[in-house]
């Protein structure tokens, strides 16, 4: 019975539409080689070999994950009036993401994280260009109007918060008020903005920070989860726990602990984006929270086996579901 439920949900991914709201980022990777030390300072001189790789990051990576899972994605967010904003729009459009909800704020830069790599193995330095101040009231109003218009045509809304100033109580209220399946992955400092949200996802350290409870054992995670569900009045909470899998808390008080999938871990970067994307897609297909959590758990396991910020597919998730006992 379980296998048919999961197979049916995965087959429905291709028909689902998700509106992603959040902090859009451009991840830029500059590749080169090192042949000498600078005469100006004791630092490596990186000779750049080619044009940088530009990838979607933050909420933009969430939208990219939705597309990789077979869904339709549109984004609501803010970029600057700069080259980074143009590149990010182009990158997202290139993978089929609807960017009509990307608004330009000429008072702030596009969040852009540039990583300099030597010999394709060693990260030399990361350069961050960003503003963490709140988005202007005028742009917030434009985002809210867009959310209200577009929410009627989607199956779910996913709020991806990286604490860069885009997410506010007003934008969250617009998402909750849509009446659609709503999921969010907030930063602990912004947890107060997410009252009444559908499902909240946090990793274990975020759950500890948001709840004020040190988490050392299973009883601690259960106390923290119950507290967070009460604090936020959410319908459900998912806490990812790395090598310990994930824990699912329902508003009814039910708790489910889903064990981790045994796999080689190469890179955990971006795994949280994949988990919340797969969880949202599964919920949009009508699965209950524990079953949606099982799919999300497999999605996370699929991407940590890959190097770099990666995505997964329904076929990869299905293969993991077949090989584990649920």
pLDDT tens digit string along 184-224? 999 999 998 898 899 999 999 999 999 999 999 999 999 99
Q: What is the mean pLDDT of residues 9-29?
A: 96
pLDDT at 264 over 90: no
pLDDT at 325 over 90: no
Query: What is the DSSP pairing of strand 53-58 with strand 24-37?
Result: antiparallel
Alpha-carbon dihedral 209, 211, 217, 221, rounded to 10 degrees: -120
Place of tokens 């009460």: 230
Q: How far is Cα 104 from Cα 72, in angstroms, rounded to an integer?
A: 23
Tokens of 220: 């601690």
CA 98 to chain centre: 17
Q: How far is Cα 245 from Cα 259, in angstroms, rounded to an integer?
A: 4
Annotation marks residue 216 as catalytic: no
pLDDT at residue number 304: 79
Phi, psi (degrees; rounded to nearest 5) at 286:
95, 5
Tokens of 17: 């539409």
Report the CATH fold assignment for 2-322: 3.40.1190
Lowest pLDDT segment from 51-65, 80-94, 211-225, 257-271: 257-271
* Higher pLDDT pick, 123 / 269: 123
Sequence spans of domains, the chain = 2-322
pLDDT at 233 over 90: yes
Distances (CA, A) of 275 to 30, 72, 190, 197, 242: 27, 17, 20, 18, 12
Count the residues in the chain. Answer: 326
Q: What is the mean pLDDT of residues 175-184?
A: 93
| Active-site option among 23, 27, 273, 291 | 273
Q: How far is Cα 312 from Cα 168, in angstroms, rounded to an integer?
A: 30
* Higher pLDDT pick, 238 / 271: 238
In order, the DSSP letters of 295-322 are HHHHHHHHHHTSSSS----HHHHHHHHH
């Amino acid at each position: 019975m379980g296998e048919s439920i999961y197979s049916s949900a995965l087959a429905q991914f291709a028909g689902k539409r998700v509106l992603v709201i959040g902090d859009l980022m451009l991840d830029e990777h500059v590749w080169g080689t090192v042949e000498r030390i600078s005469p100006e300072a004791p630092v490596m001189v990186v000779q750049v070999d080619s044009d940088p790789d530009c990838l979607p990051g933050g909420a933009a990576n969430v939208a990219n994950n939705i597309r990789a899972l077979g869904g339709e994605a549109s984004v609501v967010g803010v970029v600057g009036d700069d080259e980074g904003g143009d590149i990010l729009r182009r990158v997202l459009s290139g993978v089929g993401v609807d960017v009509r909800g990307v608004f330009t704020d000429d008072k702030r830069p596009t969040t852009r994280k540039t990583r300099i790599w030597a010999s394709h193995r060693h990260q030399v330095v990361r350069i961050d260009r960003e503003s963490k101040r709140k988005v202007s009231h005028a742009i917030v109003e434009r985002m809210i109007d867009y959310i209200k218009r577009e929410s009627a045509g989607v199956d779910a809304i996913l709020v991806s918060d990286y604490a860069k100033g885009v997410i506010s109580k007003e934008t969250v209220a617009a998402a909750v008020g849509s009446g659609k399946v709503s999921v969010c992955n907030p930063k602990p400092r912004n947890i107060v903005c997410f009252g009444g949200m559908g499902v909240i996802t946090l990793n274990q350290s975020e759950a500890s920070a948001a709840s004020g409870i040190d988490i050392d054992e299973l009883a601690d995670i259960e106390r923290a989860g119950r507290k967070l569900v009460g604090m936020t009045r959410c319908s459900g909470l998912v806490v990812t726990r790395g090598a310990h899998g994930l824990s699912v808390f329902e508003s009814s008080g039910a708790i489910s602990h889903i064990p981790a999938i045994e796999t080689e871990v190469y890179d955990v970067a971006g795994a949280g984006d994949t988990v919340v994307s797969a969880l949202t897609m599964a919920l949009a297909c009508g699965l209950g929270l524990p079953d949606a959590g099982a799919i999300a758990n497999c999605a996370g396991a699929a991407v940590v086996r890959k190097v770099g910020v990666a995505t997964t597919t329904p076929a990869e998730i299905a293969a993991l579901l077949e090989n584990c006992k649920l």
